[in-house]
Amino acid sequence: MHKRITLSFAVIAVLTIVLGSPFAIVAQTPPHYDLLLKGGHVIDPANHIDEVRDVAVLQGKIAAVEKNIPADQAGKVVDVSKLYVTPGFIDIHYHVGHGGAPLNWFTPEARAHALPLGIPADMALQSGVTTIVDAGTAGAETFLEEKEEVIDRAKVRVLAFLNIVANGMGGGLEGSLDQMDSRLCAATITRYRDIIVGVKTAHYWTKEPWDAEHVPWAAVDRAIECGTLANVPVMYDFWPRPDRTYEDLLKKMRPGDIHTHVFAQQFPIILADGKINPALAEARARGVIFDVGHGAGSFWFRSAVPAFKQGFIPDSISTDLHTGDYNVLSMDNVMSKFLAMGAPLDDVIRRSTVNPAAEIHRPELGTLSVGKDADIAVLELIKGHFSYIDCGVAKMDANERLVGRMTIRAGRILYDPAGLSMVDWEKARPQYFSSPERGDSLPARADDYPRD
């Protein structure tokens, strides 16, 4: 068998020399793409692209990002001129699933009756997001439920930080030390390493008096222990107290660890003299990561604007969307706030794509590199009069708004509410006008492009 294969290669080699390369014949055939986004302004910070280019997709992957790809080379062509085309956004602070769930839910002795914390994962697609990272809604005990009910069924890619609290977030057990088993946490991460990218600590003993069990750093220390055992970053939601200062937290954080909610009211980002706290620069120099995690209670312009003016911008932009959060609305809303403060568009895109990809150690995400999954956002930058709000019920006026217009995940058009990729209904093919009479009837759709 081995000899026969060797012989076959020898024959091909001889024929190649005599007749010319068979691959040359393949190269002469026009390449055929499934989808071509034509005429958009491509911003792909990972590849230093910031100009008008066409983007071609084949079999769910990015196939070409070039100038003037002929329209006849693609099965479907979408005119995206006057729009921006970027890698799909990565929102590393999102909440899906139930969260801390009581055992024996329907019995009187259930230990809590918390409402669900998470929102539908696929809502993220409405603002150009193709990857969300659940920020510790589930812990070791509740992760499998979240995975089977939400993560495995979502169209958007869902990754997760695992809560150091085994029961997860919001179920009433976030102050229970017996819930913070760093070995169980690390074992769960190891088992689901394809999904879990880090550890989360949050909401630990924010105002109750300390006692023998509840010492100031218990939750943070155990999260770091789990992160070290599993070799993943820790994401911190934190509340400083006199015995547990902000500066001490920043010193405890390891390089690559992520401080989310950086512009929340409880952090002394801006000191009394109006200068930015030097502890931030010291932490950043050691490799500590700063993330927005806007949420219902973690973004104040009074911190964000002076910090921005002094050159401090968080490494990643994220929403912290959950069921208590409908004023934040979306990733494009949070990104628009940074445009309003004066950040250039390409920088805002960088902090929503390649940066968060690096933070969660998934460098294959957040780019339009050829061969990677075709996760693409098509965006419009609208000029006009807009206002953006913070969590202190104050607002900022602005003249731009970034809006997600179309979202593509692995080559599938999952969000296109204005029909950029669709034909006028009157020009649709005949089967669109038919009512399906039998199970095997052709679908009454204007095209066959995958959209779900």
The residue (of 320 and 375) whose beta carbon lies closer to Zn ion is: 320
Residue (303 or 318) nearer to Zn ion, CB: 318
Nearest residue to Zn ion, scored by beta-carbon proximity? 320
Is the CB of 40 or the CB of 227 nearer to Zn ion? 227
CB 379 within 8 A of CB 127: no
Question: 262-290 burial, b if ≥16 CB within 10 A, otherwise e?
Answer: bbbeebebbeeeeebbebbeebeeeebbb
Q: How far is the CB of 95 from Zn ion (least distance, A)?
A: 6
- Closest approach, Cβ 53 to Zn ion, in A, equals 36
Kind of pairing, strands 84-87 and 33-44? Answer: parallel
Q: How big is the chain, counted in residues?
A: 452
Instruction: Identify which of residues 135 and 232 has a Cβ nearer to Zn ion in the complex.
Output: 135
Least distance from Zn ion to the Cβ atom of residue 318, Å? 9
| Contacts of residue 413, Cβ cutoff 8 Å, sequence gap at least 6 | 35, 406, 407, 421, 449, 450, 451
Q: Which of 430, 57, 416, 410 is nearest to 447 (CA)?
A: 430
- Which of 413, 308, 363 lies closest to 57 in space, CA to CA? 413
Tell the residue number behind the tokens 């009512």, with chain if given: 435
| 3-state SS assignment for residue 276 | strand
**Nearest one of 177, 238, 173 to 210, comparing CA atoms:** 177
Closer residue to Zn ion (CB): 73 or 206: 206
Catalog residues that contact Zn ion under the rule CB under 5 A.
135, 320
Please state the φ and ψ torsions of residue 157, each to the nearest 5 degrees: -75, 130
Q: Closest distance between Zn ion and the C-beta of residue 93, in Å?
A: 6
Q: 84 or 89, CB closer to Zn ion? A: 89
Question: Measured from the CB of residue 371, what is the shortest distance to Zn ion in angstroms?
Answer: 33
The owner of tokens 């839910």 is 105
CB of 295 to Zn ion, least distance (A): 6
Rounded to the nearest whole angstrom, what is the least distance from the CB of residue 119 to Zn ion in the complex? 11
135 vs 289 by CB, closer to Zn ion: 135
The whole-angstrom separation of Cα 133 and Cα 144 is: 16
